[in-house]
Amino acid sequence: MTDTPPGSPVPARSSGLAVRTVAGIGMVAVAIVALAIGGYLFWLLCVVAGLFMMAEWSDLHGIAPRQKRLAQYSLFVSLALMSPPPGAGPHFFVLGVLAGAAFFIVIVTARRELAAGTIYVGLPILSLLLLRHQHEGIVWTLWALSLVWATDIGAYFAGRTIGGPKLAPKLSPSKTWAGLIGGVVLASALGAGFHAFYGLPLRMTLATPALAVLAQGGDLFESSLKRRAGVKDSGNILPGHGGVLDRLDGVVPVAPVAAFLAVAVPWLYTYAPW
C-alpha cells in the first residue's frame, strides 16, 4: 500500500466512502429514533420518503412534471389514511384505497407505470406501518429494516474483498455472487441474533436468508430502471447515496413479505378453515 504524503488531498474514493458512511449512519439513526417513538413521527418519515420515492420513480420513467405531481398527490391521499387517529391507521382496507389511487392515475394520465409506482411505493409503506402497529412492532420493524441494511453491508464488503463472478453484469456490473452470499450470511446472523435476544418468531428468523435474497432482487430491479433511464442514481438528495429509491430499493420487496409473515400467517393459522 502506498502512503499518502502529509498535506496531500484525500483520494476521491476514500472521501466518497467517508461521506457515504457518515450519511448512512445518520439515516439509520433517524430511522431508529422515528421507529422507537412511533406514532405520527414514524408515519411522517414514511410519508416523506414515499413522496420522494414517487418523484424519483416518475423521473426514471420520464414522466412530465404535472403528471408527477398528480401521482404524488394521489399517493399522499392513501398515505394520509394510514396515519394514526384521526386517520384510519395501517389497516388492510387501505389496500383497496391504494388500488383505487392506481386506477385513478392510469385513467387520468394513461401512464401505467405511474399506477405501478403507486403500488410500488405505497405497499411497502403500508407494510412497515402495519408491522410497527403490532405488539412487538419495534422489534419486527427493526428486523425488517436491519436485514436489508445487513444485506447491503455484507454484499458490499464481501464483493469488494472476494470479487469473483458477476451476479447480473447487464444490470449492475459491480454486484458479485460473493457479495450476494456475504449479504445473506450477515443478514442471517442478524436474524439469529434477533431470535436469540429479542424473541423474533422462528418463521421470520428462518425466512431471513430468503428475504436477504429478495432485498438484492429489489436492488437489481431498481438498477434495471436506472440503466434504462441512462442515470447512475435515482436522485441526488442523499449525500453519497443518491436518491431515496437507491436506499430503499431493498425494503420495497422485503416489507410486504415481512408483514405477511408477521401478521397474516398467524391470522391464517388461527382462523383459516383448513
Q: Specify whether 145 is located in the same domain as 220.
A: yes
Percent of the chain with pLDDT over 70: 91
Q: Are residues 140 and 249 in the same domain?
A: yes
Give the whole-angstrom CA distance, residue 216 versus residue 222: 10
User: Which has more confidence, 11 or 206?
Assistant: 206
Query: Which amino acid is it at 132?
Result: R
- Specify if 27 maps to a domain: no
In a domain, 21, yes or no: no
Query: 156-169, pLDDT tens digit by residue?
Result: 999 989 988 999 88
Asked if residue 18 belongs to a domain, the reply is no
Shared-domain flag, residues 142 and 220: yes
pTM of the model: 0.90
Question: Residue 14: its pLDDT value, please?
Answer: 57
- Interval 86-90 mean pLDDT: 78
Is residue 8 one of the residues assigned to a domain?
A: no
Q: What is the grid cell recorded at 21? A: 458512511
Which of 3-7, 66-70, 133-137, 207-211 is least confident? 3-7
| Confidence label for 242 from pLDDT (cuts 50, 70 and 90) | confident
Residue 153 resides in a domain: yes
Provide the domain count of the chain. Answer: 2
Q: How confident is the model at residue 271 (pLDDT cuts 50, 70, 90)?
A: low
Question: Given a cut of 80, is residue 29 above it in pLDDT?
Answer: yes
Range of the domain at 140: 136-269
Q: If you average pLDDT over residues 244-249, what whole number do you get?
A: 94
pLDDT of amino acid 2:
40
For residue 218, the Cα-to-chain-centroid distance in whole angstroms is 8
Asked if 141 and 263 sit in the same domain, the reply is yes
Is a pLDDT exceeding 90 seen at residue 153?
Answer: yes
DSSP assignment of 70-135 equals: HHHHHHHHHHHHTSSTTS--S-TTHHHHHHHHHHHHHHHH--HHHHHHHHHHHHHHHHHHHHHHST
Which residue is associated with the grid cell 436506499?
A: 247
Q: Average pLDDT over the chain, rounded to whole? A: 89
Long-range contacts of 92-95 (CB under 8 A, 24+ apart): 94/126, 95/123, 95/126
